[in-house]
Amino acid sequence: MDKAKKFRQLLNADRHFFLMEAHDGLSAKIVEETGFPAIWASGLSITASLGVRDNNEISYTQLLDVLEYMNDACDLPILVDGDTGYGNFNNACRLVQKLEQIGIAAVCIEDKKFPKTNSFLETKLDALADPLEFAGKIRAMKATQKNPDFVVIARLESLIVGAGVEDAVNRAKMYLAAGADAILVHSKRPNSKDIDDFLAAFDRNVPIFLVPTKYYTVPVSHLTRDKRVRGIIWANHNVRACVTVMQEISKKIYNDCSIANVEGEIAPVTEIFRLQKNEEYLEMEKKYLPEYSNLSAVILAAGGPGPLDFEKPKSLLKINGKSILEHQLDALRSVRLSNITVVRGYKRDEIQAKDVKLIDNPKWKDTNAAYSLSLAVPDVKEPYLVLYGDVFFKRYLLRSILDYASEHPSSDMILVCVKEDYIKGGYYLRLNKRPDVFGDDDELIVIDVRREREAAKDGDVVYFSGLMMVNNHLAVQQLLEEEDCENLHISDFMGHAVDKGMKLSVIMSSKEAIVDINLLNDLMKAGELL
């Protein structure tokens, strides 16, 4: 249903309703989930969240930017605090046009001069707008709107500035005659006397909105005895709550030089993700991103624990509650890749997974990754991904390598590499050019594989991350069959592939996107990446 129509139905119902303040997309979503039927987009709250005064210091276009995020974040109708309409009748008409364009349901404007000052600050009688001019502004706004359900509410400031009940009643009648759909009457007394007097003196049967920010001790049952009182606005309490909590948390972190004592007092990051509708994104990802159903994946998880002697395979070490293997399987399935093989070795029976093929490497103590790969590939009839069982990576790397493979069919293998200057041993891949040169169309190609760093030319050397794509699976299988894989390291295999003229392309990754888990510090780093 159109949001303006929703608000119109609330307005025309025979019962009162509550509007809760929101000032951004996140607070709008929270208000919706709490159960409120409508939102008050408070001018004070929005300006406060932007760090400026509620004195027309932001333009209506800046207001529209915030409102668009709020409207997109929830399905509730939003009543906008439109201040004075941001100028004369022409500015107010423009405001209505733009509010309708982004789907806002209603706007409230107050009868003060532009630029306005917040009503709870000291105000004077001369702050009031000329009632004839303000009535003309209302008339122009109603003539401008295209949606018949869009609501324009006239806000009376007579009681705020001390002009009295009679002035408020006279102004209300003029604004209703000009076409206003409802009246908002405002007061800063700590009791409801002004409001009670106005309701007694005002004889028109129209919807009335109240804002009991100052007279909060008055029971709602008292305020709503008059059936014309349709909307009760809780005007600024979310932004005030934010200020209180942020001040407390910031002070505690500052004093403690730690976040350990606040984690139990604030929302977990997962709650933020939920409010951001990340689950919706994941479902859309499955629906709209490319499916790589013609591909396979091989996870090499046969090796022992290495320096991380936790008496379990490294692939089962947990990062934020899930094993490395689970993270890898989730990543592979996010691209709808289901033909997955896991090669086991050390404590093989502990490695279990649904809907994957399990292959055992009985010689895991005496062989390397190349041998494990040779056991898996005879049954693979299409291009495939290869993942070390102890590598954790951001999912976008997976899509990057798959996209690269489709765009470079001449590449026999595509390797994800990093510039790991701190690594002192192992195998190093020397490239055709420096890997830190970006923005051109030249591919990064492996031209040599060296064991010693000193033997490689500085600047041209990268380190294999443990993630690669075998694009030419037939050529790779033939090479594996020709080699003595039991005595072959995966990097030896890469060197032999280069010697035979195979094309090994390289995609560079930052160290902030992929981690080879060898030390406890690597586990901690992977947790930070999540």
| Calpha distance 210→339 (Å, rounded) | 62
| Calpha distance 314→526 (Å, rounded) | 13
Preceding peptide of 362 cis, ω within 30°? no
> How many other CB atoms sit within 10 Å of the CB of residue 73?
22
Cβ contacts of residue 104 below 8 Å, gap of 6+?
3, 4, 67, 71, 78, 80
What does DSSP say about strands 296-301 and 384-388: parallel, antiparallel, or unpaired? parallel
The phi, psi pair for 418, rounded to 5°, reads -135, 160
Nearest CA to 419 among 295, 513, 484?
513
Catalytic, out of 2, 14, 54, 458: 54
| Calpha distance 60→47 (Å, rounded) | 11
- CA angle 454–461–442, rounded 5-degree value: 150
Say which amino acid occupies 380.
V
Q: How many H-runs (helices) and E-runs (strands) does the chain carry?
A: 19, 21
CA distances (Å), origin 94, targets 126, 254, 257, 350, 454: 26, 46, 50, 67, 69
Nearest CA to 221 among 213, 232, 211?
232
Which DSSP letter does residue 409 get? Answer: T
On whether the CB atoms of residues 208 and 199 are closer than 8 A, the answer is yes
| Calpha distance 120→124 (Å, rounded) | 11
Residue keyed to tokens 């509730």? 76
| Calpha distance 81→95 (Å, rounded) | 12
On whether the CB atoms of residues 484 and 370 are closer than 8 A, the answer is no
User: Which tokens in the block code for residue 78?
Assistant: 């939003």
Catalytic, 421? Answer no
On whether the CB atoms of residues 422 and 525 are closer than 8 A, the answer is no
| Calpha distance 34→253 (Å, rounded) | 29
User: Which tokens in the block code for residue 260?
Assistant: 């350990």
Distance of CA 497 to the CA centre of its chain: 43
- Give catalytic residue positions: 54
